[in-house]
Structure 1
Amino acid sequence: MDTSLVMTGLTNVLTLTNIAFVVGGTLLGLFVGTMPGLSATMALALLLPLTFTFDPATGLSMLASIYVGASYGGSIAAILLKTPGTPAAAATVLDGYPLSQQGQAGKALGISLFASFFGGLMSGAALLLAAPLLGSLVVEFGPVELFAIAVLGITIIGSLAQGSVINGLFSGALGLLISIIGMDLTTATPRMTFNNINLFSGVEFTIALIGLFSIPQALTLIENAHRDNKVASRITDRLVPRFAELKALMPNILRSGGIGIATGLIPGTGGDTASWFAYNEAKRFAKDKSRFGQGDIAGVAAPEAANNAVVGGALIPTIALGIPGSSSTAILLGALMVHGILPGPNLLTEHGDVTYTLIWAVMLSTVSLLIVGLLFTKASVSVTKIPDGFVACAIITLCIIGSFAINNRIFDVGLMLAFGLFGYWLKKADVSPAPMVIGLILGPVMENGFHQSMLIGNGSYGVFLESPIAVVLLGIALISVLQATPLFRWLRAPFKRRLKHG
């Protein structure tokens, strides 16, 4: 481990300015997560333009804290309203809401907060330990391996996206197609620009991000604006759990944190997958399984520890390979691109100070979450009373301002709205926009890697078979695509029957 880079990252984060942005970002993430229907991804996409004028350390610290804060904030609406504030908080509803109905809302929120804190610390520690090991590995990566990584990123995230595998791959392919708009990287020939000068520089990543994630959410809120308003349960008991309760829950929290880290390592999965996995394991290990679903604090601790542990786990493939582990980490990669830092294995070798700054920002955000959560959890209940229509109007206004501020062009506002309407259609068609975002990020990496590989191999595709690393990565990519085909399922059926009958 290069201790100088580790200390540089820590020094970058521990400035008064960055600490203030971490606390403010955690508070903002807490409130965003509390609002039913909003998500950490939407908040990150909306606020990404603000980081343009920031120092990279400040921008990354703020975005990381929003990510961490929103991951916990989703449990507040889940416990008090029986409405998950974020998709990852769906499992928390099962035992959190019954506890609030029994007059123990404070206890449920306190368990959720401390489980989130320990899960976040575990993931931060895993990220800090994994970074130097990954750094020694990625020095073996050249253009051939980078192309293979980009192909793997598209296929595996497309195949692991929620809903139809074909839909996920379709979304990723669309992202690749959009990424080639602009001037050809080799010949400087305009591609798919339709003679519009505004498209010669390509589609701004942030514009697409804001439109795809924020506008559809605002339109959905407008659709539901006339629904009956739910009344949140009141917090009348103590928020800080007793030491004996936390001690009894620690094996559950540690196990769930490990599940969250492992799940986060798999690109395309997220906090919702980890939360359900951890909840099921907590129930399986419980002595009295009948209490689950009736208000068992173990059923609150497990999904929340796993949910926050995913943050660090998802950042490991993001930092090591440039493959975002989730849509939220894709936006963090976008923040790096805003500051001229390209994603990929070179992130660890050429920008080690920035990498460790991000890692320490996650750790500091976790500590900030505990403090901010204890001080403002009760106050955040009032956020659930804000009408959906008002929230939607505020989101659309911020989208317009943010997209215009990037290049001071009205064209970008129109492009953002076009992406927003397209994202709304994708949502209705049950197609995830996350693979499309990954395609936008990995498209240039794939194109550069391909052109450079062709030069190395004198135009021969056999160059991709000369690297063992590339062969393994491309093999995994091929398997992830084949498993989506009817032929693969037909071939797998006899093996399932054999296993079933012993």
Structure 2
Amino acid sequence: MDNSLIMTGLVNVLSFTNVALVVGGTLLGLFVGAMPGLSATMALALLLPLTFSMDPASGLSMLASLYVGASYGGSIAAILLRTPGTPSAAATVLDGFPLSQQGKAGQALGVSLFASFFGGLLSGLALLTAAPLLGVMVLKFGPVELFAIAVLGITIIGSLSQGSVISGLLSGALGLLLSTVGMDLITGTPRMAFGNINLFSGIEFTVALIGLFSIPQALLLIEKAHGSQKVASRITDRLIPRISELRRLMPNILRSSGIGIVTGLIPGTGGDTASWFAYNEAKRFSRDKSRFGKGELAGVAAPEAANNAVVGGALIPTIALGIPGSSSTAILLGALMVQGILPGPNLLTDYGDVTYTLIWAVIMANIGLLVVGLMFTRMCVAVTRVPDSFVACAIITLCVIGSFAINNSLFDVGLMLGFGLFGYWMQKAGVSPAPMVIGLILGPVMETSFQQSMLIGQGRMGIFLDSPIAVVLLSIAALSILQATPLFGWLRTAIRGRHQAQ
């Protein structure tokens, strides 16, 4: 069964339309990543409405390739401008920009491209290998286990988000609350609609997504639009690295890819965490640590391999449990929801063909990244010079068009702008919008599975303690909250002090 689904996914991706969408998505991701201040998450949110009229295979192929392309594109601005195009490219600045100052911008970008390719390809293959094993495991999941998974997703994302644990959990709880707007899933009674018929069907997930991730980005760009003019370094040297260079860097790339895959498995962590971890390990394993920060190629290869490897790693919990490993994979889940496919372990069983299409799209996107990157990286230098004010106006225009096109409703445009202003406030307050998005996604799953569990247990809350899987998942959820509380930190400090005293 699994083999037939694997082949079905491959055939879906290799159609002419989907190959063209992979190339186009990768190219678009490359340009988005190269623009300082923009992110893959924002681009995915803007393009999500375009997938409404596509079949799942085509929509997922385009979004996955954009995700992969933007992960590499961030290194272009990092190396040429000393400004990370995406947060995950921050570590690349340390050695990438010194290389461009030495006239080796092409060499740095070439190493970044090939490291990104190998990292992404290995993570895609790891995802393809893990999927059949995960498919066997998730057959044991019922409503009780699904509720535990939803609780785990909210607590882990909340506790690992930027800022304090409390703010992260409150953000996730607010997302859960907003997911209840509309008709009750069981009784059909309107809830928190305030008599407005536009809210009877609930808050459109895509509208909230566009507002939370795109409008704040545009407003932040407008804030710094009158700053200094961006002047990028020129690419004057060879872009394709020599075989000897790749052979020397390959152990570093393989190690960093493994770090990226493992980091991606942990929901809430992203490419920025993995890239700094990989950079630190590359420096630790180096014979000459003094070269780092002055233009060391290993300092470019390590973070770039890691942040692209996160893509496949983050999709493993997304596919197996329906818990998005990052805000970008949350949008990929949103694309599935648009197609009427609810997130959760049933992705691998009931929608195996769609799931394997997504996996193959990630692998094909990395192959497309190598080809497109070699052809268009030099052209992307021009993109880094686009004024911030122009980019901000383009983002806001696309936000309005995209949110209106969902239901041809001006109410959705107003709702999107409201979410945008709230997201901007969250950014300023240091609260991550990612847990809120996860709450919006997992809310319907949590509510439905809870009601089904109550029916199974005849209203008995102890039903959640009857399942060993649910007990383990809920225990991990409790620990993820406790380990980040002040009490846990105080205990850890006290234990450390006692050991030092002895």
Q: CA deviation at 1:501?
A: 6.0
CA distance in 2, matches of 1:8, 1:391: 39
Quote the residue 1:98 is aligned against.
98
Quote the residue 1:192 is aligned against.
192
Letter in 2 for 1:218: A
Quote the residue 2:150 is aligned against.
150
Letter in 2 for 1:340: G
Q: CA deviation at 1:439?
A: 0.2
Quote the residue 2:160 is aligned against.
160
Q: CA deviation at 1:185?
A: 1.0
Quote the residue 1:321 is aligned against.
321
Quote the residue 2:38 is aligned against.
38
Quote the residue 2:114 is aligned against.
114
Quote the residue 2:214 is aligned against.
214
Q: CA deviation at 1:249?
A: 0.3
Structure 1 position 495 matched with structure 2 position 463: no
Quote the residue 2:74 is aligned against.
74
Q: CA deviation at 1:186?
A: 1.5
CA distance in 2, matches of 1:91, 1:153: 28
462-471 or 491-500, which deviates more = 491-500
Structure 1 position 48 matched with structure 2 position 48: yes
CA distance in 1, matches of 2:181, 2:466: 31
CA distance in 2, matches of 1:105, 1:204: 44
CA distance in 2, matches of 1:9, 1:170: 38
Quote the residue 1:174 is aligned against.
174
Structure 1 position 293 matched with structure 2 position 293: yes
Letter in 1 for 2:41: T
Q: CA deviation at 1:224?
A: 0.6
For residue 91 of structure 1, give the secondary structure of its aligned residue in structure 2: coil
1:412-448 per-position Cα deviation (integer Å, ceiling 9, x unaligned): 0000000000000000000000000000000000000
Q: CA deviation at 1:499?
A: 4.9
1:159-205 per-position Cα deviation (integer Å, ceiling 9, x unaligned): 00012111111110110010000111112111111110000000000
1:479-498 per-position Cα deviation (integer Å, ceiling 9, x unaligned): 11122322222222222234
CA distance in 2, matches of 1:372, 1:486: 48
Quote the residue 1:140 is aligned against.
140
CA distance in 1, matches of 2:501, 2:174: 43
CA distance in 2, matches of 1:310, 1:162: 18
CA distance in 1, matches of 2:176, 2:48: 22
For residue 235 of structure 1, give the secondary structure of its aligned residue in structure 2: coil
Letter in 1 for 2:131: A
1:373-423 per-position Cα deviation (integer Å, ceiling 9, x unaligned): 000000000001111111000000000000000001100000000000000
CA distance in 2, matches of 1:497, 1:317: 37
For residue 459 of structure 1, give the secondary structure of its aligned residue in structure 2: coil
Letter in 2 for 1:184: D
Indicate the percent of aligned positions where both proteins have the same amino acid.
80
**Shift in CA distance, 431/319, structure 1 to aligned 2, threshold 3 Å:** same
- Structure 1 contact 71–308 (Cα < 8 Å) conserved: yes
Letter in 1 for 2:460: S
Q: CA deviation at 1:500?
A: 4.9
Quote the residue 1:400 is aligned against.
400
Letter in 2 for 1:3: N
In the alignment of these two chains, the number of paired residues is: 502
Letter in 1 for 2:59: G
For residue 139 of structure 1, give the secondary structure of its aligned residue in structure 2: helix
1:114-152 per-position Cα deviation (integer Å, ceiling 9, x unaligned): 000000111000000000000000000000000000000
Quote the residue 1:451 is aligned against.
451
- Structure 1 contact 166–484 (Cα < 8 Å) conserved: no
Quote the residue 2:28 is aligned against.
28
Letter in 2 for 1:410: L
Letter in 1 for 2:122: M
- Structure 1 contact 41–213 (Cα < 8 Å) conserved: yes
CA distance in 2, matches of 1:166, 1:292: 37
CA distance in 2, matches of 1:151, 1:489: 23
For residue 140 of structure 2, give the secondary structure of its aligned residue in structure 1: coil
Unaligned regions of 5+ residues in structure 2, if any?
Answer: none
Quote the residue 1:255 is aligned against.
255
Superposed, 1:315-354 pairs within 5 Å as: 315-354=315-354
- Structure 2 contact 165–485 (Cα < 8 Å) conserved: no
Letter in 1 for 2:63: L
**Shift in CA distance, 231/374, structure 1 to aligned 2, threshold 3 Å:** same
Quote the residue 1:421 is aligned against.
421
Quote the residue 1:84 is aligned against.
84
Quote the residue 1:229 is aligned against.
229
For residue 378 of structure 1, give the secondary structure of its aligned residue in structure 2: coil
Task: Tell me how large the CA RMSD over aligned residues is.
Answer: 0.8
